[in-house]
Amino acid sequence: MPLPVGLVWLVTRLGYDRRAWLAQSLLALIVLPVSYWLTDPGENVNWVHGLGRPQTALPPWAYLTLLIVAFALVLYLPPHLAFTYFPLSVRSS
């Protein structure tokens, strides 16, 4: 729980850049396939081989595509919308 609180505190102190969602989504578009190609399925870095264990229900390219979309829409978009529509005040030092 300390990490989310610390991140909100940092956004309060430094402000939120509205380009962050697009930048993070584009970064995931690069990092997730690279993680898939360069890591061992046993390590499963960034869940690129499955959630918890290697998945077999979908072809790997379909799962990776869905993962990229899910990261952008489920992990990155809600905080982006929250910080965009409910801006936190930025303190001047």
Half-sphere exposure of 37 (CA within 13 A, CB side): 6
pLDDT at 4: 85
Q: What are phi and psi of 35, to 5 degrees?
A: -60, -40
pTM over 0.75: yes
Q: pLDDT, tens digit, for every residue of 29-85? A: 999 999 999 998 888 888 999 988 889 999 999 999 999 999 999 999 999 998 888
Report how far residue 60's alpha carbon sits from residue 4's, in angstroms, rounded to the nearest whole number: 31
**Helix, strand, coil content of the chain in percent (nearest 5):** 65, 0, 35
Average pLDDT, the chain: 89
Of the pLDDT bands very low, low, confident and very high (cuts 50, 70, 90), residue 91 is low
Checking 3-10 for CB contacts under 8 A at 24+ apart, the result is 8/88
Q: What is the pLDDT of residue 90?
A: 58
Cβ–Cβ contacts within 10 Å for residue 71, how many? Answer: 20
